[in-house]
């Protein structure tokens, strides 16, 4: 029974999903499916509560060491539950009663979340693989949900084929590691892998896993699918899939790189270093000339994956904490901005181009203002989550001597400012006289809640980051090899002189 | 006790006001009036500083130092010294004026405008009072956003481009600035300015000179762009042209110059001196360049932009000669530019409200129609050209006389700017106000200054005269702050026997290093 | 010691300025008049009060009212000083100033900018008094720039007229060039002395005979000369003064004849200690002065606009003063300054009265035969003309003769200076009498004004000033000016007649009282190190500026000579413009080139326009504006932006949208990553 | 014996795979894939995984490939025409694949000794032992797969349903 | 007796062929099949290693992969049907609506 508590959020979500399906089946064909959305949201809320409650559990494993709940996994549980909750609310806002397959959509979101959560708490590569598949497959499906449009199925197809392609690599990687050690348990690897008599297999396995996960987090050069898929998928779904699976995949990457194979950092730091540089550069340069909003955000998400990878190269407890913190702030602002887009553009993308958003703040000051806030946070302006995210990431990297990476990264954030700011300027520019008046439906309750959650999160992370930061730091403490935080103030000769 | 929290109040009262503005109804002049009250309140609060400032004591005062973020240690550390004191006051003083000048100019999106306007106030004040590098950086970056948005919102023709140009020009270098800050943190383990200063001064860190040089360069470039210093001024004309007057008033000068004083001179004295020759050259070039280009403009706003460039270059010259007098002059000139430049922009915008263009070639003979405006315009122009008994002269004179012993050649060239500035200013005045009334002026019948405009302009005019005549009141505080940054011997008594005044002064200049 | 409240002197006119400037537009005219007159009268009374108590003062008398600028080592005070030199200047400024104020009441009566005019006039008095009272260079500079401002405002008084606006701007900017010199001089002083107080600087210099001819002193002196040249309209910066005639005539009289333009001379005299230690600078002053005197006189001969003739004559006379200073005869220079203030102010006022009588006509060619119609003006004018032409025993004769004598006896190259000065004296008397004859004698040519008027308008160089006609209608009822204008004329006439006596040279049996009076202040230090330094130190005047013995005869001779020359000039004028009126034109025909050269003022304005103004504008507009700012600086930003976007395009090229391409991409990089990891390649390629 | 079997069926695998690669009609591809899978099941047997061998035939060849062929029929997909939409696939992809093969082969063969030998019948996993692990240690993953299948059903229904 | 390495190499060959097939096929269904081929290759690797290590986990892994593959097949074919309905083609080269 105690074991069940350790996967309580997953259970809750699963049950909620099943409930949604059952109710859906009982409802009349013509009846509005929105209530199901509220039901699902309730489920997500319950899962969020359960995840938070898990903080009260003592760290430990369950089901024969297949899952472990500790500060780290709970941190990501909470995050994922929050993301799903927000995504559900956004969906509720942007869909209409006539939108088909709503029941399935809500259920899929919940089930997908189950997979993501398992990814973050699993300590057995098998379960990680299953979780990955659960989250991926549900995302493939959701990407194709707007069947009427020509784009949506295409994005689903691209995502599906390339995703499976990458999964094969991931799987092959696991096989290699299994071959090198004879086990697929993270803990076992952490303790015994170093003694493997076939390190070559370990290297290759590690590389293949990095490839597979790199694809999932859309890190260059494995990013190619991202823009197309984001463009075609329904905006609310993008809100979820641009954050949830990524966050989970990053958690897995942390587990494997820092938890299972830290002694191979000599091998994986260079890969991640280059992936970070490529992701940041390609993402930002690619976004420069975008005219479609969603593609632009796709490139920006590539760039942000790069920033997050920078934290990995720090190879320190600070790095883990920074990555976790960045995941949160990125999720907050990205979900938020997609909330605005999916409201303004609607479930079936009425507004696709940046220019369509010209004068948004004239039509709806609230939406304009909030969108500007998220964009500013994406730029990384202080007093928003985006800034402290970048700040911690680069501080950690620089503290580990990654001077060049830091410089490249911050120059990149300068380039990024261009297209984000162009967006902000567009929102606040006068609407063109010739342009037809854009019809923005007045924000519904779920949207307001979602916007409030995300905006509040963005600001809190920017102004009072201490809470989340310490959570992230305690998450970092769960890694045995980094349990002693690198004393940041080690090299400080002046610390004794207390500031007056 | 007010004194303990005064800086927080001054900094965040505008923010509070902004939040209220966001909730106010879009009806009548509610927003304007409220914003005006908020800015006036802020100004009133800020008057607390000079009253209770201890001019004898050179360190930071009204200090607030609380923990903000535990690890990495970022503190909420505020404080002002003789340098930031007046800059804070300048900012709060320009607050109400900014509201008054926008009163009629901003008709649409007033709520957004005043919301961001107040946010900008907070950001700028914060820059001047923050003593923690990250806190400072926060305000520094934050000050870009409302500015950019307002430029995009109000720019008549190419607002968006100007906004982006401005933002990128400032943001890109400040990214490198952040790298330098983080690097310093990695080496010293603190973001606190005071501790950083102590650590770097102690020289016990064993940092490589090259690395320090790069760090200081990263600082300098970020600030120089914001000033702007000569080759980095690409954004200035466009922004001055597109920005609403209330923003154009504050976009250039004080923020960047303050940062150079505080951080480049405060943290990297040697490195600053190493790069001084270049900066002096740029400063002098900037003086002449700005003046000459102002001579070539036909658009009032662009002319003002280039004249601002010229006047600010005086500050650069004064800073990098490291003579105490020159530094005082540079600070004083910063204040001057803030006041006089703003006054000129305000006047021009009043002309624009009446005649709807900034193109001087369409003007002429306005003096007959608007004598009061013409009078104030001439006074302002004279202040900018450095007429004695007005503030401009004191600044220029201190800068030049202070720097002259250090670099007679450069300063000699720079002094030519005095001639040029007179040329373009008087020419501007003549083209707008003198001669026969142009068709534009004949067709548009418009009244002379109304009460609001008088309230906008007279405070600045009076301040120009006051600062020109009673400069010691300002300089006594500045002198205290600068004495730590200047070279010990502030002039070379090459051949003459030092006059008594000098003998007395040398020890005063020598007593440096006030943490 | 007794407190003289010197601050009252400038403050009163300043108050007048404020009152008239702020309230004048609405105030009734009498009030404005009253304020203005009080603003100029009270200082005059205060000065006379000073004169009365002067004997009982310990000189120099210094009063400090507070610190103006204090920064680190350097500080400058609001402090005034009173000594003989100051007193003389005070008398001139307040006295002449007051008279001209009175005159203006009549002259400007009908101007719509009445209040503005008097506000500016009071402002001018404020700054001029500050200038002469200042106890340090910086405060002197305040007055220095201030009078420039006042002159700018007054020249541009008729701002709706482009010519006036241009003239004002020109005056200010050219003056700025001089101020630039003044500034640099001050910087040098601070650099070398650490202070700008007259006393400490001069004492330090006086104490150091070893600095005789020192480089830095020469530099300081030369930069001061630049300042003086700008303010006193000497070559090469004289160009603004003739144009300044655009201003109302009283302005020309007060500012551009009597007081402001002489500030340069005053400044040199005030700082003579520096010049005495810098012979080179002195020589420069002397040469500039002489050259200007001659040059301006030649131009003056051919001008037909009455005010312009006077303007060039002013420049020429200022040249004499410079010459005097250049030969270290400062008291002579100041003396000529005083007498010149009398008769030149008078000339301008009288000319104003003439113009007034002809309701705005300034061209002498359409004047004539006014002798009977405006007698008072005629007689006063006559006195002035005789005075300036150096007819003994009038004021002009005495002061000019003193200068020539000092030039003659001065050791280095004096003879040449003297010779040129002498010729100039001849030219002076010629063009002055020319003016006299053309204006007052012959038959009245006023009738020709009609058809001539058009011609005058067409002429570019002569500007036809249409000042309001006091008597309304633009008819040609030639009339004498009102009393309020005539009394100042009369008083000044008397002064220019008898003014010479106070400086009657010893050589001619006089007792050169003036020189003695000034000697404590202006005695050149290089004449005699020990004594002067003692003198300056103790402030006791024991050195009359006496010429070497046995020169009585020479002085006699020279006086005779100059008188002769003056007479010759008079005779020539008499011949050409009275006996044979046509002669002038014929002469002009005969030597056409020379005439053209002179009448076009040697094309100096055109030259400056081509050599200075045009190139600067070209540089600003095209080289810097377009080439540097647009192309390089803006272009640089653009280039960066576009190149980034280019890379962006490159990046998006990958995004072909084809799944197989994507897969190929993935496969390739997967393989590379594998290989790199396995062989540990990229580990080396990670810059730390 | 073992080696012979390995060579035969391994060869069959490769042949089937290559056939899949070169055939242009989906049906042929499907059939050749079935060949690959069946012969793989034999190899599983050689490696002592009897349950997997069975499952391979049942699940893959039985279920999945039937599904494939079903869909092929449903959409009556014809012989694919070799359009040239992508050069990158050739210039980047094939080298990639080649490098991949070469690298892996190099790794495996160079360390050949360390991998040891596979002897027939030496290590047989009977279903019981397998289920021991499956339903005890790996119970949770097993349960989670039910969620996975649920999703699959949902998705199939949602995507393939006729729109009305 | 056969060296395990042979099995591994065989799986590597199959995997690479699968990759190549993915690249070369135009028919979506065929592409999907080549993915299945890759998965099978991986399975073989697992079984081989399971034999080497005498570890049953490897085989169980394969079992799970089969399940996943089944699920993927269901979903994938559904997607294929959907796109066929939307675009009326199965040629992957014609499914590049979204690019750049």
Q: Is C659's CB within 8 Å of E19's CB?
A: no
Predicted confidence at residue C22, as pLDDT, reads 87
Average pLDDT over residues D119-145: 88
In this predicted model, what pLDDT tens digit does every residue of A273-299 receive, in sequence order?
999 999 999 999 999 988 999 999 999
Average pLDDT over residues B364-373: 90
Q: How far is C651 from chain E (nearest CA, A)?
A: 9
3-state secondary structure B250-275: HHCCHHHHHHHHHHHHHHCHHHHHHH
The DSSP code sequence of A438-457 is P--PPPPHHHHHHHHHHHHH
> Which of E70, E72, E86, E97 should we substitute to test contact with A (largest number of A Cβ atoms within 10 Å)?
E86
Residues of chain A with Cβ-Cβ distance to C674 below 8 Å are 204, 207-208, 211
Average pLDDT over residues C233-256: 91
A354's tokens: 């940046």
Above pLDDT 70, what percent of chain B?
Answer: 94
Give the residue from A245, A226, A4 showing the smallest Cα distance to A120: A245
Give the Cβ contact number of residue E84 at 10 Å.
Answer: 18
> What is the residue-averaged pLDDT of chain A?
90
Distances (CA, A) of B256 to B226, B229, B390: 5, 10, 24
Give the residue from B418, B378, B413 showing the smallest Cα distance to B396: B418
Taking 70 as the threshold, does the pLDDT of residue C628 lie above it? yes
Q: Is A470's CB within 8 Å of B192's CB?
A: no
Predicted confidence at residue A484, as pLDDT, reads 54
Predicted confidence at residue C446, as pLDDT, reads 58
Above pLDDT 90, what percent of chain C?
Answer: 43
Question: Does residue C654 sit at the E interface (CB-CB below 8 Å)?
Answer: no
In this predicted model, what pLDDT tens digit does every residue of C196-243 receive, in sequence order?
999 899 988 888 888 888 889 999 999 999 999 999 999 889 999 999
Question: Does residue B410 sit at the C interface (CB-CB below 8 Å)?
Answer: no
Predicted confidence at residue B250, as pLDDT, reads 92
Predicted confidence at residue C231, as pLDDT, reads 93
3-state secondary structure of A500: coil
Quickly state the pLDDT bin for C447 (edges 50, 70, 90). low
CB distance A283 to A218 below 8 Å = no
Give the C window 634-663 contacts with B, CB below 8 Å.
634, 636-637
Quickly state the pLDDT bin for A479 (edges 50, 70, 90). confident
| Chain-centre distance for alpha carbon C31 | 31
Taking 90 as the threshold, does the pLDDT of residue C346 lie above it? yes
Taking 80 as the threshold, does the pLDDT of residue D163 lie above it? no
Predicted confidence at residue C453, as pLDDT, reads 45
Taking 70 as the threshold, does the pLDDT of residue C550 lie above it? no
Question: Does residue D153 sit at the A interface (CB-CB below 8 Å)?
Answer: no
Quickly state the pLDDT bin for C323 (edges 50, 70, 90). very high
Predicted confidence at residue C470, as pLDDT, reads 42
Burial (CB < 10 A; 0-12, 13-18, 19+), residue A19, is middle
In this predicted model, what pLDDT tens digit does every residue of A187-231 receive, in sequence order?
999 999 888 888 889 999 999 999 999 999 999 899 999 999 999
Q: What is the count of residue pairs from B and C with beta carbons less than 8 Å apart?
A: 185
Nearest-angstrom CA–CA distance, E20 and E23 = 5
Give the A window 105-144 contacts with C, CB below 8 Å.
none
Burial A113-130 (b: 16+ CB within 10 A, else e): bbbbbbbbbbbbbbbbbb
The shortest CB-CB distance from E97 to any of A137, A150, A178 is to: A150
Nearest-angstrom CA–CA distance, B370 and B362 = 16
pLDDT, greater one: C461 or C104: C104
In this predicted model, what pLDDT tens digit does every residue of B454-484 receive, in sequence order?
999 999 999 999 999 999 999 989 988 888 8
pLDDT, greater one: C545 or A369: A369
> Which of A270, A283, A300 should we substitute to test contact with C (largest number of C Cβ atoms within 10 Å)?
A270
Predicted confidence at residue C527, as pLDDT, reads 52
Compute chain D's Rg from CA coordinates.
20
Q: Is B188's CB within 8 Å of A376's CB?
A: no
Taking 60 as the threshold, does the pLDDT of residue A493 lie above it? no
In this predicted model, what pLDDT tens digit does every residue of A147-166 receive, in sequence order?
888 889 999 999 999 999 99
Residue with tokens 């058009």: C454
Residues of chain E with Cβ-Cβ distance to A156 below 8 Å are 79, 82-83
Predicted confidence at residue B288, as pLDDT, reads 94
In this predicted model, what pLDDT tens digit does every residue of B195-215 receive, in sequence order?
999 999 888 888 888 999 999
Give the Cβ contact number of residue A65 at 10 Å.
Answer: 15
Residues of chain C with Cβ-Cβ distance to A221 below 8 Å are 665-666, 669
B170's tokens: 């400032």
Q: For residue A57, which phi and psi values (nearest 5 degrees)?
A: -75, 145
> What is the residue-averaged pLDDT of chain C?
85
Q: Is C686's CB within 8 Å of A215's CB?
A: no
Taking 60 as the threshold, does the pLDDT of residue B163 lie above it? yes
In this predicted model, what pLDDT tens digit does every residue of D27-52 receive, in sequence order?
999 999 999 999 999 999 999 899 99
Taking 70 as the threshold, does the pLDDT of residue C355 lie above it? yes
Residues of chain D with Cβ-Cβ distance to E84 below 8 Å are 75
Taking 80 as the threshold, does the pLDDT of residue A434 lie above it? no
In this predicted model, what pLDDT tens digit does every residue of B220-269 receive, in sequence order?
999 999 999 988 999 999 999 999 999 999 998 899 999 999 999 999 99
Taking 80 as the threshold, does the pLDDT of residue C463 lie above it? no
B316's tokens: 């650069």
> What is the residue-averaged pLDDT of chain B?
89
In this predicted model, what pLDDT tens digit does every residue of C26-66 receive, in sequence order?
889 999 999 999 999 999 999 999 898 888 888 788 999 99
Q: Is C667's CB within 8 Å of D107's CB?
A: no
Average pLDDT over residues E28-51: 94
Predicted confidence at residue A222, as pLDDT, reads 94
Quickly state the pLDDT bin for C412 (edges 50, 70, 90). low
Give the residue from C654, B172, C656, C677 showing the smallest Cα distance to A274: C677
Taking 90 as the threshold, does the pLDDT of residue C531 lie above it? no
Q: Is A494's CB within 8 Å of B188's CB?
A: yes
CB distance B410 to C171 below 8 Å = no
Q: How far is A29 from chain D (nearest CA, A)?
A: 11
Taking 80 as the threshold, does the pLDDT of residue B1 lie above it? no
Average pLDDT over residues B32-50: 95
Predicted confidence at residue B489, as pLDDT, reads 53
Predicted confidence at residue B280, as pLDDT, reads 95
Quickly state the pLDDT bin for B494 (edges 50, 70, 90). very low
> Which of E12, E20, E21, E23 should we substitute to test contact with C (largest number of C Cβ atoms within 10 Å)?
E23
Q: How far is C664 from chain E (nearest CA, A)?
A: 6
Quickly state the pLDDT bin for B71 (edges 50, 70, 90). confident
Chains that touch A (3 or more CB pairs under 8 A): B, C, D, E
Above pLDDT 70, what percent of chain C?
Answer: 90
Taking 50 as the threshold, does the pLDDT of residue B399 lie above it? yes
Predicted confidence at residue C344, as pLDDT, reads 93
Quickly state the pLDDT bin for A437 (edges 50, 70, 90). low
Of A234-248, A303-317, B483-497, E52-66, where does mean pLDDT reach its minimum?
B483-497
Cα-Cα end-to-end distance for chain D: 60
Taking 50 as the threshold, does the pLDDT of residue C475 lie above it? no
The shortest CB-CB distance from A288 to any of C644, C670, C688 is to: C644
Predicted confidence at residue C18, as pLDDT, reads 93
The shortest CB-CB distance from A165 to any of C641, C666, C676 is to: C666
Burial (CB < 10 A; 0-12, 13-18, 19+), residue B207, is middle
3-state secondary structure C364-393: HHHCCCCCCCCHHHHHHHHHHHHHHCCCCC
* Global ipTM: 0.90
In this predicted model, what pLDDT tens digit does every residue of A298-315 receive, in sequence order?
999 999 999 999 999 999
Residues of chain C with Cβ-Cβ distance to A227 below 8 Å are 655
Of B276-290, B359-373, C201-215, where does mean pLDDT reach its minimum?
C201-215
Predicted confidence at residue A92, as pLDDT, reads 93
The DSSP code sequence of C21-34 is HHHTTTS-HHHHHH
Quickly state the pLDDT bin for C580 (edges 50, 70, 90). confident
Taking 70 as the threshold, does the pLDDT of residue C471 lie above it? no
């Amino acid at each position: 029974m105690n074991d069940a508590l350790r996967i309580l959020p997953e259970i809750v979500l699963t049950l909620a999903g099943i409930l949604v399906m059952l109710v859906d089946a009982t409802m009349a064909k013509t009846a509005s499916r929105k209530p199901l959305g509220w039901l699902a949201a309730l489920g997500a809320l319950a899962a969020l509560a359960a995840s938070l409650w898990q903080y009260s559990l003592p760290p430990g494993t369950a089901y024969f060491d297949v899952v472990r709940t500790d500060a780290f996994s709970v941190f990501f549980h909470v995050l994922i539950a929050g993301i799903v909750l927000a995504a559900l609310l956004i969906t509720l806002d942007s869909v209409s009663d006539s939108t088909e397959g709503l029941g399935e959509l809500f259920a899929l979101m919940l089930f997908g979340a189950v997979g993501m959560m398992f990814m973050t708490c699993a300590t057995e590569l098998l379960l990680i693989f299953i979780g990955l598949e659960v989250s991926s497959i549900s995302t493939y499906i959701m990407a194709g949900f707007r069947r009427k449009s020509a784009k949506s199925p295409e994005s689903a197809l691209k995502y599906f084929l390339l995703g499976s392609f990458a999964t094969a690599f991931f799987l092959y990687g696991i096989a290699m590691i299994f071959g090198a050690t004879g086990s697929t348990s993270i803990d076992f690897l952490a303790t015994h892998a170093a003694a493997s008599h076939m390190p070559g297999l370990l290297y290759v396995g590690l590389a293949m896993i990095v490839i597979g996960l790199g694809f999932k987090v859309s890190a260059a050069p494995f990013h190619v699918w991202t823009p197309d898929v984001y463009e075609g998928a329904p905006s609310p779904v993008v809100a979820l899939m641009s954050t949830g699976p990524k966050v989970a995949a990053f958690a897995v990457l942390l587990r494997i790189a820092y938890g299972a194979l830290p002694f191979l950092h000599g091998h994986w730091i260079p890969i991640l270093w280059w992936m970070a540089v490529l992701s940041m550069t390609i993402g930002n340069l690619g976004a420069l000339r975008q005219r479609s909003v969603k593609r632009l955000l796709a490139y920006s998400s590539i760039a942000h994956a790069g920033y997050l990878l920078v934290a990995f190269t720090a190879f320190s407890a600070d790095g883990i904490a920074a990555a976790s913190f960045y995941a949160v702030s990125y999720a907050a602002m990205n979900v938020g901005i997609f909330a605005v887009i999916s409201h303004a553009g609607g479930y079936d993308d009425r507004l696709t181009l940046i220019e369509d958003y010209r004068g948004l703040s004239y039509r709806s000051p609230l939406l304009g203002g909030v969108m500007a806030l998220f964009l500013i946070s994406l730029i990384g302006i202080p007093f928003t989550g985006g800034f402290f995210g970048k700040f911690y990431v680069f501080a950690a990297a620089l503290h580990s001597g990654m001077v060049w990476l830091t410089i490249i990264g911050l120059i990149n954030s300068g380039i990024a400012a261009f297209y984000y700011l162009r967006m902000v300027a567009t929102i606040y520019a006068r609407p063109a006289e010739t342009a037809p008046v854009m019809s923005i439906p007045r924000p519904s309750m779920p949207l307001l809640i979602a916007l409030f959650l995300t905006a509040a999160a963005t600001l809190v992370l920017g102004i009072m980051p201490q809470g989340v930061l310490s959570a992230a730091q305690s998450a970092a403490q769960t890694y045995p090899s980094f349990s002693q935080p690198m004393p940041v103030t080690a090299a400080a000769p002046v610390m004794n002189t207390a500031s007056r | 006790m007010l004194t303990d929290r005064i800086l927080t109040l001054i900094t965040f009262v505008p923010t509070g006001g902004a939040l209220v503005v966001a909730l106010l109804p879009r009806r009548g002049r509610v927003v304007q009036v409220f914003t005006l009250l908020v800015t006036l309140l802020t100004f009133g609060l800020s008057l607390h500083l000079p009253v209770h400032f201890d001019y004898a004591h050179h360190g930071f005062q009204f200090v607030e130092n609380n923990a903000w973020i535990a690890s990495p240690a970022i503190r909420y550390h505020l404080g002002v010294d003789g340098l930031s004191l007046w800059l804070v006051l300048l900012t709060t003083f320009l607050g109400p004026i900014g509201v008054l000048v926008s009163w009629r100019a901003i008709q649409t999106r007033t709520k957004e405008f005043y919301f961001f306007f107040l946010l900008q106030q907070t950001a700028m004040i914060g820059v001047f009072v923050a003593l923690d590098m990250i806190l400072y950086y926060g305000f520094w970056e934050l000050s870009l956003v409302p500015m950019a948005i307002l430029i995009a919102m109000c720019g008549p023709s190419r607002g968006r481009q100007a906004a982006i140009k401005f933002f990128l020009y400032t943001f890109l270098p400040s990214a490198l600035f952040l790298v330098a800050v983080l690097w310093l943190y990695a080496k010293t383990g603190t973001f606190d300015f005071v501790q950083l200063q102590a650590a770097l001064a102690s020289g016990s860190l064993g940092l490589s000179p090259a690395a320090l040089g790069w760090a200081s360069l990263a600082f300098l470039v970020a600030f120089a762009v914001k000033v702007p210093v000569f080759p980095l001024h690409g954004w200035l004309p466009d922004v001055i042209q597109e920005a609403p007057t209330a923003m154009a008033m504050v976009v250039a000068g004080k923020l960047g110059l303050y940062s150079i004083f505080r951080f480049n001179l405060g943290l990297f004295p040697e490195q600053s001196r190493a790069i001084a020759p270049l900066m002096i050259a740029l400063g002098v070039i900037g003086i002449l360049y700005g003046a000459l280009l102002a001579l070539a403009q036909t658009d009032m706003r662009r002319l003002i932009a280039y004249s601002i460039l010229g006047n600010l270059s005086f500050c650069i010259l004064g800073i990098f000669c490291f003579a105490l007098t020159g530094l005082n002059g540079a600070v004083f000139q910063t204040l001057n530019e803030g006041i006089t430049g703003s006054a000129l922009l305000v006047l021009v915008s009043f002309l624009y409200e009446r005649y709807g263009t900034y193109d001087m070639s369409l003007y002429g003979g306005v003096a007959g129609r608007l004598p009061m405006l013409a009078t104030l315009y001439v006074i302002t122009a004279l202040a900018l050209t450095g007429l004695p008994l007005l503030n401009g002269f004191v600044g220029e004179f201190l800068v030049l006389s202070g720097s002259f012993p250090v670099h007679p050649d450069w300063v000699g060239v720079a002094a030519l700017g005095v001639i040029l500035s007179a040329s373009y200013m008087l020419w501007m005045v003549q083209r707008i106000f003198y001669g026969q009334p142009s068709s534009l002026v004949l067709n548009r019948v418009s009244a002379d200054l109304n009460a609001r405009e008088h309230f906008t302009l007279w405070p600045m005019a009076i301040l120009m005269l006051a600062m020109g005549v009673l400069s010691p009141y300002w300089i006594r505080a500045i002198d205290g702050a600068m004495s730590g940054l200047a070279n010990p011997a502030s002039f070379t008594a090459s051949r003459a026997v030092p006059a008594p005044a000098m003998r007395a002064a040398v020890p005063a200049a020598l007593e440096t290093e006030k943490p | 010691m007794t407190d003289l409240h010197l601050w009252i002197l400038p403050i009163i006119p300043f108050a007048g300025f404020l009152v008239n400037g702020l309230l004048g537009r609405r105030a009734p005219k009498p009030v404005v008049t009253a304020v203005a007159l009080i603003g100029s009268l009270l200082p005059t009374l205060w000065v006379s009060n000073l004169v009365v108590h002067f004997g009982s003062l310990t000189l120099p008398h210094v009063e400090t009212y507070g610190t103006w600028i204090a920064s680190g080592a350097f500080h400058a005070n609001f402090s005034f000083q009173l000594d003989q030199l100051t007193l003389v200047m005070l008398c001139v400024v307040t006295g002449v100033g007051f008279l001209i104020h009175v005159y203006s009441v009549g002259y400007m009566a009908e101007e719509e900018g009445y209040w503005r005019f008097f506000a500016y006039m009071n402002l001018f008095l404020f700054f001029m008094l500050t200038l002469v009272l200042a106890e340090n260079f910086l405060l002197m500079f305040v007055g220095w720039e201030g009078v420039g401002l006042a002159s700018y405002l007054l020249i541009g008084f008729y701002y709706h007229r482009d010519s006036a606006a241009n003239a004002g701007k020109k005056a200010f900017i050219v003056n700025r060039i001089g101020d630039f010199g003044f500034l640099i001089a001050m910087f040098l002083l601070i650099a070398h002395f650490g202070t700008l107080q007259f006393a400490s600087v001069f004492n330090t210099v006086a104490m150091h005979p070893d600095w005789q001819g020192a480089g830095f002193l020469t530099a300081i002196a030369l930069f001061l000369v630049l300042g003086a040249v700008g303010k006193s309209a000497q070559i090469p910066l004289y160009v603004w003064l003739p144009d300044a005639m655009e201003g109302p005539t009283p302005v020309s009289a007060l500012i551009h004849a009597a007081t402001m333009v002489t500030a340069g001379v005053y400044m040199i005299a005030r700082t003579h200690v520096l010049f005495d230690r810098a012979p080179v600078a002195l020589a420069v002053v002397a040469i500039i002065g002489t050259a200007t005197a001659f040059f301006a006189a030649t131009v003056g001969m051919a001008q037909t606009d009455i005010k312009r003739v006077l303007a060039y004559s002013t420049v020429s006379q200022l040249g004499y003063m410079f010459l005097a200073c250049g030969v270290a005869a400062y008291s002579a220079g100041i003396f000529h300054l005083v007498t010149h203030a009398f008769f030149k102010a008078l000339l301008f006022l009288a000319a104003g009265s003439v113009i007034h009588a002809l309701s705005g006509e300034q061209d002498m060619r359409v004047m004539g035969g006014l002798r009977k119609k405006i007698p008072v003006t005629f007689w006063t004018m006559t006195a002035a003309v005789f005075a300036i032409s150096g007819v003994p025993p009038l004021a002009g004769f005495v002061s000019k003769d003193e200068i020539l004598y000092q030039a003659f006896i001065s050791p280095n190259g004096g003879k040449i200076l003297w010779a040129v000065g002498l010729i100039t004296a001849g030219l002076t008397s010629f063009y002055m009498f020319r003016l006299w004859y053309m204006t007052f004698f012959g038959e009245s040519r006023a009738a020709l004004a009609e058809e001539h008027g058009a011609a005058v308008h067409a002429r570019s160089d002569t500007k036809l000033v249409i000042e309001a006609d006091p008597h309304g209608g633009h008819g040609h009822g030639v009339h004498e000016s009102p009393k309020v204008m005539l009394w100042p004329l009369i008083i000044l006439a008397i002064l220019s007649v008898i003014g010479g006596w106070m400086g009657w040279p010893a050589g001619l049996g006089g007792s050169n009282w003036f020189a003695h009076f000034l000697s404590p202040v202006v005695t050149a230090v290089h004449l005699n190190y020990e004594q002067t330094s003692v003198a300056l130190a103790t402030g006791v005047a024991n050195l009359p500026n006496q010429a070497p013995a046995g020169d009585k005869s020479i002085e006699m001779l020279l006086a005779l000579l100059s008188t002769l020359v003056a007479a010759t000039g008079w005779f020539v004028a008499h011949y050409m413009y009275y006996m044979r009126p046509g002669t002038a034109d014929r002469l002009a025909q005969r030597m056409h080139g020379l005439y053209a050269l002179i009448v076009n003022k040697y094309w100096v304005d055109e030259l400056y326009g081509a050599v200075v103004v045009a190139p600067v504008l070209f540089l600003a507009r095209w080289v810097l504006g377009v080439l540097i700012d647009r192309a390089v600086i803006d272009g640089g930003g653009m280039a960066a932006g576009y190149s980034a976007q280019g890379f962006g395009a490159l990046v998006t090229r990958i995004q072909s949208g084809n799944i197989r391409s994507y897969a190929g991409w993935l496969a390739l990089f997967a393989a590379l990553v594998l290989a790199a990891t396995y062989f540990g390649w990229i580990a080396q390629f990670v810059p730390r | 014996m073992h080696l012979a079997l390995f060579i035969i069926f391994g060869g069959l695998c490769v042949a089937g795979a290559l056939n899949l690669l070169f055939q242009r009609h989906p049906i042929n591809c499907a059939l050749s894939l079935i060949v690959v899978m069946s012969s793989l099941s034999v190899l599983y047997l050689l490696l002592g995984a009897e349950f997997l061998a069975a499952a391979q035939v049942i699940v893959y060849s039985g279920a999945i490939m039937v599904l494939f062929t079903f869909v092929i029929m449903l959409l009556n997909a014809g012989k694919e025409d070799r359009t040239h939409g992508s050069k990158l696939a050739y210039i980047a992809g094939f080298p990639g694949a080649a490098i991949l093969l070469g690298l892996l082969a190099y790794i495996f063969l160079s360390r050949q000794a360390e991998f040891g030998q596979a002897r027939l019948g030496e290590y047989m996993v009977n279903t019981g032992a397998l289920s021991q692990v499956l339903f005890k240690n790996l119970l949770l993953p097993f349960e989670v797969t039910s969620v996975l299948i649920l999703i699959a059903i949902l998705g199939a229904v949602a995507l393939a349903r006729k729109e009305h | 007796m056969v060296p395990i390495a042979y099995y591994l190499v065989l799986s590597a060959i199959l995997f690479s062929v699968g990759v190549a097939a993915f690249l070369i096929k135009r028919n979506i269904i065929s592409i999907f099949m080549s993915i299945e081929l890759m998965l099978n290759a991986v399975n073989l690797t697992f079984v081989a290693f399971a034999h080497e290590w005498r570890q049953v986990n490897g085989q169980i892994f394969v079992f799970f992969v089969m399940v996943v593959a089944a699920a993927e097949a269901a979903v994938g074919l559904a997607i294929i049907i959907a796109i066929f309905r939307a675009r009326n083609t199965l040629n992957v080269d014609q499914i590049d609506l979204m690019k750049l």
